[in-house]
Amino acid sequence: MNPPAAAPVGRPELIRSYVAIGDSITEGMEDDSGPGGEYRGFADRLADHLGTLSPDFRYANLGVRGRRMKHIFGEQLEQTLAWKPDLVTVLGGGNDVLRPKGDLDELAETFEWGVRQLRDAGIRVVILAGHDTGWIPVLRLYRGRIAVFSMHMRAVAERTGTEIVDLWALNALNDPRAWSDDRLHPNGAGHQIVAARVADLLGHPMGPTEIWADPWATPPQQLPRILRRREGRRWARQYLVPWLRRRALGRSSGDGLQARRPVLDYLHDEETREQLRKQLREVGADTHYNDYSADDTPPTSSPSGTKGPEPLR
């Protein structure tokens, strides 16, 4: 069984290479905090953090908006297996789940097959399960399907011994301040919450647990009903109608797009890597990670993130 909430887990392993596979959230959509307003996202944020712990850290992000399970566990999986990185995060299935006629059981079988390919290759995998859309008008209609597929993901994690971050259990993501105007993608704050939760599960925290468990100093502001309705109509015109039109035409927002970081390459240039080596030697890289002592802040498991058992064969 998965460990109980707040149970200590083992000493973290140093991660020297990381590949993120998935769709638009992995791509980093709506987190425009990158250079020149480019997308960044939870995967880039996590890579930036892990890159401070290993001078020769390498990173690739194969996520592209609109990609479905057949792409994620197709060409993305094939490329990832060829690289054999230390870590892979998998966030996908949303574009399949939002198609009402899609068979969730068949989708889960494909998901488990893909995760097993990665695990059998000796790769450390973190699954990211779906977030709760119950607070979002229109999207709340898909809440049941998202919940069912998220339970499938937890079952896959249990059977394969895979670590999982359950975005549904992250209360901070049930706050509108974590989401962009399109209500489909986290904004910079939301992506940071996800990145920090994954980092904590890996045993390399970005800081205290409050940065992902309780990041808001005040409750969210509740707009009057008339303003909520007006905002809902604006959202439908700007985002929902174009989305439905693409679905009707069999098109995707990601048609013709390529991954932002399609090659597993060094995160830093040689000069930066040498500076980082020097800094890590000075602070004692074997005992400290970003000024957080591995002895003082052991990685923990909670309902929003668990380490899996030994996989069933």
Check whether 242 has a pLDDT greater than 60: yes
- For the stretch 64-98, pLDDT in tens is 999 999 999 999 999 999 999 999 999 999 999 98
Check whether 218 has a pLDDT greater than 50: yes
Alpha-carbon span 31 to 195, nearest angstrom? 12
Check whether 309 has a pLDDT greater than 50: yes
Residues contacting residue 157 through CB under 8 Å, at least 6 positions apart:
115, 127, 163, 164, 306, 308
For residues 156 and 73, is the Cβ–Cβ distance under 8 A?
Answer: no
What number of other Cβ atoms are within 10 A of residue 175's Cβ? Answer: 17
The DSSP bridge partners found for residue 292 are: 289
Alpha-carbon span 220 to 249, nearest angstrom? 37
Q: What pLDDT, on the 0 to 100 scale, is given for residue 291?
A: 42
Q: What pLDDT, on the 0 to 100 scale, is given for residue 255?
A: 79
Mean predicted confidence (pLDDT) in 246-274: 87
Higher pLDDT, residue 300 or 183: 183
For residues 246 and 184, is the Cβ–Cβ distance under 8 A?
Answer: no
Alpha-carbon span 168 to 173, nearest angstrom? 8
Q: Quick one: pLDDT band at residue 311, thresholds 50, 70, 90?
A: low
Q: What pLDDT, on the 0 to 100 scale, is given for residue 8?
A: 39
303: Cα within 13 Å, side-chain hemisphere:
6
Q: Quick one: pLDDT band at residue 290, thresholds 50, 70, 90?
A: very low
The torsion angles phi and psi of 209, rounded to 5 degrees, stand at: -60, -20
Higher pLDDT, residue 256 or 83: 83
Check whether 275 has a pLDDT greater than 60: yes
Check whether 226 has a pLDDT greater than 80: yes
The DSSP bridge partners found for residue 179 are: 186
Check whether 4 has a pLDDT greater than 70: no
Mean pLDDT of the chain, nearest integer: 86
- For the stretch 9-22, pLDDT in tens is 444 689 999 999 99
Check whether 183 has a pLDDT greater than 90: no
Check whether 281 has a pLDDT greater than 60: yes
Q: Compute the radius of gyration of the chain from its Cα atoms.
A: 19
Mean predicted confidence (pLDDT) in 245-269: 85
Place of tokens 């992506």: 191
Check whether 304 has a pLDDT greater than 90: no
Check whether 294 has a pLDDT greater than 80: no
Alpha-carbon span 85 to 87, nearest angstrom? 5
SS3 per-residue string spanning the chain: CCCCCCEECCCCCCCCEEEEEECHHHHCCCCCCCHHHCCCHHHHHHHHHHCCCCCCCEEEECCCCCCCHHHHHHHHHHHHHHHCCCEEEEECCHHHHCCCCCCHHHHHHHHHHHHHHHHHCCCEEEEEECCCCCCCCCHHHHHHHHHHHHHHHHHHHHHHCCEEEEHHHCHHHHCHHHECCCCCCECHHHHHHHHHHHHHHHCCCCCCCHHHHCCCCCCCCCCCHHHHHHHHHHHHHHHHHHHHHHHHHCCCCCCCCCCCEEEEEECCCHHHHHHHHHHHHHHCCCCEECCEECCCCCCEEECCEECCCCCCC
Mean predicted confidence (pLDDT) in 167-184: 91
Alpha-carbon span 128 to 92, nearest angstrom? 8
Q: What pLDDT, on the 0 to 100 scale, is given for residue 100?
A: 81
Tokens of 305: 């993130």
Q: What pLDDT, on the 0 to 100 scale, is given for residue 7?
A: 38
Mean predicted confidence (pLDDT) in 108-122: 97
Check whether 293 has a pLDDT greater than 80: no
Q: What angle do the packed helices 104-120 and 143-160 form, to 10 degrees?
A: 30
